[in-house]
Amino acid sequence: MKPKAITFDFWGTLFTEGEAFLEKVMPARYEILLDALSEAGHPAEEAEVREAYRQAALAFEEAWKAGEHLPVYERVARIFALLGAPHDPGLIALTARRLEESSLLAPLKPLPGVEVLKDLAKKYPLAIVSDTGMTPGRLLREHLKRQGLDVFQAFSFSDETGFVKPKPEAFRVALEALDVAPEEALHVGDLPQTDIKGAFGTGYPWAVQYVGLREVNGEAKPTAKVKDHRELLSLLT
């Protein structure tokens, strides 16, 4: 493989939430919602909030599978509606922002070999092509800085572009910023249906599946599989 640039997925490829994140961030999110509902004059029990949060997360997943990005604002609006709270656009927007910011309460867990990005960045322009959920692109950039991995020259986050993988537009945003053609790029991601299929559909000749966290099977077959990002070095020689 002799690419001129490399694009990476974020979640499940470079980082995962990890135990510390779940222990600190999820309780904070429920608390934010409980406070917002009280402010809306419609107090709720934590069990109700947890269930509404789960239902909104399922709606997000359904939209994502259908190729659409569901903003955090829409998730909060759905939670308010499920719990019978009045639709207050200002409060919903503020609550959405607070939920997003809660992701900075704990560090993300880097996946095996992710430190090799520093070496790769010396030889290749790097970019992120990632779908986002409750944590938007602006905060994923901050997480990268906190991890000492501020090595990317371009970003394509679904909350910023409106495009989710496997849509070619999601990849093109990053490639155009790097001034690299799809035919000259390599993509690394963990999901066959979005990362591998999307990269090949955009015109990439190479798509490597990262299986260091989990191995998901799919119809789209990768060029290669790696369990540790340091394995990329031998593939690129």
- pLDDT tens figures, 78-98: 999 999 999 999 999 999 999
Phi, psi of 162 (to 5 degrees): 85, 0
Are 171 and 195 within 8 A, CB to CB? no
pLDDT band at 13 (very low <50, low <70, confident <90, very high): very high
pLDDT of residue 203: 98
pLDDT band at 237 (very low <50, low <70, confident <90, very high): confident
pLDDT, the chain, mean: 97
CATH of region 5-17+109-235? 3.40.50.1000
pLDDT band at 48 (very low <50, low <70, confident <90, very high): very high
Q: What is the CA radius of gyration of the chain?
A: 19
Q: Report the percentage of the chain scoring pLDDT > 70.
A: 100
Q: Which residues of 41-60 are buried (b: 16+ CB within 10 A; e: fewer)?
A: eeebeeebbeebbeebbebb
- Pick from 17-26, 50-59, 126-135: least confident: 17-26
CA-to-CA dists, residue 137 to 34, 71, 102, 154, angstroms: 25, 12, 14, 12
The type of residue at 235 is L
pTM of the predicted structure, to 2 decimals: 0.95
pLDDT at 20 over 90: no
**Mean pLDDT throughout 43-70?**
96
pLDDT at 100 over 90: yes
Rounded CA gap, 85 and 101, in Å? 23
217 burial level (CB within 10 Å; 0-12, 13-18, 19+): exposed
Are 134 and 99 within 8 A, CB to CB? yes
pLDDT at 144 over 90: yes
pLDDT of residue 110: 97
pLDDT at 22 over 90: no
**Mean pLDDT throughout 9-24?**
94
Rounded CA gap, 150 and 106, in Å? 18
**What would the pLDDT profile of 169-211 be if each residue is shown by its tens digit?**
999 999 999 999 999 999 999 999 999 999 999 999 999 999 9
Are 171 and 202 within 8 A, CB to CB? yes
Domain ranges across the chain: 5-17+109-235, 19-105
Instruction: Reply yes or no: is the peptide bond before residue 166 cis, omega within 30 of 0.
Output: yes
pLDDT band at 36 (very low <50, low <70, confident <90, very high): very high
